[in-house]
Amino acid sequence: MQPPHGGRGDLTQSALYVANGIKAAHERSGDKVAAIGHSAGPPAIMWALRYDAEAASLVDDFISVAGANRGTALIEPVCGAVGNCPVIAWQMYPNSDFVQALHAQPLPDSVDVTSVYSLTDEGIQPATQVSSISSAANIAVQDVCPTHLVGHIGILSSNAAYQLILDALEHEGPADRTRAAQATEYSQYFAPGIEPSKLTELLPAIGEYLAALGEPRYASQPPLPSYAQPDVANPLRPDELADGSSERFSSAGQGIAAAVAGSAQSAID
């Protein structure tokens, strides 16, 4: 499954590919599917689970890793500065029509939902708010290991994040922070199988993010598919999308500062 534009395009279109991928995986395996995504991947998965009942019925676990599930405050100054932005950027505004529709209804009860995030994520902020999913186990890496200050890409190699994901996959229900903490060796920063000397191989991923800047740009958020428009309770004009930015930036700064302070205190203790 390869979403259009490498997943950097319209997330409602990417979600169609996610839904088809879930159905294909179920057909091949005969089992229910675990859907795991990172960054903008989780919102695409959520959209598939919200608007494709068949795909949702085939999913056992949905695990969001550093998910921009409610947008991210850091996209606001970028679009404010350049004016025209790719569709995925408009969708990542915390007040966007996309985010409103995405959370208009909860995900199906049949899906166990876990959201794993980092308080020190430099891309998804304010992390606690924007990565949270209603009725999910929303767990920060620092809840498991306070000294692990991982970023947006670094969370993919984090042992604490790995233990949370593994816990969700191996047990009924979503991840449990207590079980994951008991399974996590605090001195082991990297997940099993990760070779620190090879982490530079992740650097091309930065180019993938920057490639989104080359996507077609729009002066305002494009309309959602007609089937989702009734779920937008409060359609906003472009000049209203950034309302609340200062509060979100303040919350992001406070969250990162608290995580760093907590890590330092844990190291002392």
> Using one digit for the tens of pLDDT, what is the confidence trace for 1-44?
777 777 778 999 999 999 999 999 999 999 999 999 999 999 99
**Measured distance CA(11)–CA(164) in Å, rounded:** 26
- Could you say which of 3.30.420.40, 1.20.950.20, 3.40.50.1820, 3.90.1300.10 is the CATH number of the domain covering 4-215+234-268? 3.40.50.1820
Closest to 161 measured CA to CA, from 127, 178, 184, 187: 184
Give per-residue pLDDT as tens, 16-26: 999 999 999 99
| Cα-based angle 31, 33, 35 (whole degrees, multiple of 5) | 170
pLDDT, the chain, mean: 87
196 pLDDT more than 90: no
Domain boundaries, the chain: 4-215+234-268
Q: Which residues fall within 8 angstroms of residue 49, CB to CB, at 6 or more apart?
A: 35, 55, 56, 59, 62, 107, 108, 111
Mean pLDDT of 247-252: 61
Residue 207 has which token pair? 């180019």
Give per-residue pLDDT as tens, 197-226: 777 776 776 666 666 656 778 888 899 999
Residue, of 167 and 123, whose pLDDT is higher: 167
217: helix, strand or coil: strand
**Measured distance CA(18)–CA(15) in Å, rounded:** 5
